[in-house]
Amino acid sequence: MNTSRSCYRSQAKRHEDSGVAGLLSTALDYADRYGWSVIPVTKKKAVGQWKKYQADRPTVADLRKMFSRRSVTGLALISGGVSDRLRIRDYDVQSAYDEWAASHPTLAKELPTVKTRKGAHVYYRADLPDCVRKCGDGEVRAGGGYTLAPPSAHPDGGGYAWIIEPSNGIPWLDDPVSEGLALPAEDVLPRKARVRSEIQDASSFQETPQKPQNPSNTSPGVSETSRLSSIAPCEVDYSGGQHPDLEFLAKLHQPTGGGQRHRRIFDYAQAVKGLPGEWGPRERDAAFWLWWADAKHVVLTNDDDLSFAEFHGAFERVQFAGGIDWPDVLRRSQAEALPVDEAGCPLGTQTIIRVCAVLQRHHGDKPFYLSGEIAGGLLGKGLWVGGQILRTLVRRGVLRLVEKGSNQTGKASTYFYLPTLHEVYKITLRADRKKEPGP
């Protein structure tokens, strides 16, 4: 028997025996070990106001307060971007799970799996829209709801127990559709989008106007133009006008879950407006479609017309262009010296330390904004990794958290980078290791 899994089972048994205190211990472990957004339940009903935790994971203080209620009988996980893109395939019928496991024996032995009263829950991480979709034999719980987890009891008898425990984290799947754990994109469109698609199909007898030929397709940059044309509804001539940092900015400002679309559009429009060059309607169109190619799979309001209009409106309204030039910050950070005590940090953490040094110099003796999403994005990683790095730097005394941000307000946390503050501005602040950074 796997000793680590045996240890988890014994812990789960102790949690079951120790009631609410055991559930709190498990919730804290899930939140710390896997980055899950955990909430308490009574039977199968969430305790208190839980929807805010679809955007921000509860803090340790939040969990202690929520799990202090005597009515708590179990715990649940909020899947989606807030839980490091956790997705759960819910099989309501045991035979359906058995059939999938027989067809995918390797995955069935590796993916964390929970035994439920009727079937099984299979856990994985993937890039999917944050939503719940019905299947004939259960659901794909990719976000927008919560799922009871071990060691919760089922109100009708029995309980939730690990069959395969996540001893090494939750595996990432590049293509969960081909692995039988998610629905194809055309099957997960919101109802309005499906209806609109059906109307368009029914109207296919109408003559479709021919797209004008673009004589400039042989110009430099045609490969990127062709890629943009494949995702945009019109020909886009963007050759000669594309800034090399545009694709980086489009990736950096991607939403990671529901409720972020509007803010990400505004921030992206501000960043694009700060790039050099002419930004006429066609150049803005190309910039939007580059962003929308990935964003449309995550946002809850999957309406390209609405997002397109909001992007152009934001571009006109933005008071000042550019905000922080993150590509330039990343380039300048390479010349920053690393504090001697931080030489043992991983390369990604060292990069964020140097980025913070650049930001502090840029802001003088004032605090600077930095979110976990931006920090993770600069490394090509996610919100959870970026947030963990910032928390670590606060604990190590490299950063001082000034004000905690919130995903709900779209406001990032503010920090002081203590080495620069001390060396350049001769200001000495005590590192505050008690505060936990926000987004």
Per-residue pLDDT of 359-405, as tens digits, reads: 988 888 888 888 887 888 888 777 778 888 999 999 999 999 998 87
Q: Which domain holds residue 148?
A: 3-171
Residues 176 and 182: beta-carbon distance below 8 Å: yes
Q: Hey, what are 372's tokens?
A: 């976990």
If asked whether residues 87 and 109 sit together in one domain, one would say yes
In angstroms, the CA 177 to CA 26 distance is: 31
Boundary residue ending a domain (171, 204, 237): 171
Is 203 inside a domain boundary? no
Boundary residue ending a domain (155, 171, 187): 171
If asked whether residues 160 and 232 sit together in one domain, one would say no
If asked whether residues 165 and 91 sit together in one domain, one would say yes
In angstroms, the CA 120 to CA 75 distance is: 17
Residues 67 and 39: beta-carbon distance below 8 Å: no
Residues 10 and 58: beta-carbon distance below 8 Å: no
Residues 87 and 182: beta-carbon distance below 8 Å: yes
If asked whether residues 21 and 133 sit together in one domain, one would say yes
If asked whether residues 311 and 340 sit together in one domain, one would say no
Residues 236 and 229: beta-carbon distance below 8 Å: yes
The list of the chain residues with pLDDT below 50 reads 1-18, 186-241, 431-436, 439
Is 375 inside a domain boundary? yes
Is 301 inside a domain boundary? yes
If asked whether residues 239 and 140 sit together in one domain, one would say no
In angstroms, the CA 404 to CA 391 distance is: 11
pLDDT at residue number 401: 92
In angstroms, the CA 75 to CA 223 distance is: 50
Is 337 inside a domain boundary? yes
Three-state secondary structure readout of the chain: CCHHHHHHHHHHHHHHHCHHHHHHHHHHHHHHHHCCEEEEEECCEECCCCHHHHCCCCCHHHHHHHCCCCCCCEEEEECEHHHCCEEEEEECCHHHHHHHHHHCHHHHHHCCEEECCCCEEEEEECCCCCCEEEECCEEEECCCCEEEECCCECCCCCECEEEECCECECCECCCCCCCCCCCCHHHCCCHHHHHHHHHHHHCCCCCCCCCCCCCCCCCCCHHHHHHHHHHCCCCCCCCCCCCCCHHHHHHHCCCCCCCCHHHHHHHHHHHHHCCCCCCCHHHHHHHHHHHHHHHCCCCCCCCHHHHHHHHHHHHHHCCCCCCCCHHHHHHHHCCCCCCHHHCCCCHHHHHHHHHHHHHHHHHCCCCEEECHHHHHHHCCCCHHHHHHHHHHHHHCCCEEEEECCECCCCECEEEEEHHHHHHCCCCCCCCCCCCCCCC
If asked whether residues 166 and 246 sit together in one domain, one would say no
Is 200 inside a domain boundary? no
If asked whether residues 136 and 284 sit together in one domain, one would say no
pLDDT at residue number 435: 46
Is 142 inside a domain boundary? yes
Residue whose tokens read 């609405």: 306
- Counting beta carbons within 10 angstroms of the beta carbon of residue 320, is it exposed (0 to 12), middle (13 to 18) or buried (19 or more)? exposed
Is 193 inside a domain boundary? no
Is 126 inside a domain boundary? yes
Query: Domain holding 341: CATH number?
Result: 1.10.10.10
pLDDT at residue number 410: 57
CA end-to-end distance (rounded Å), the chain: 40
Question: What is the total count of domains within the chain?
Answer: 3
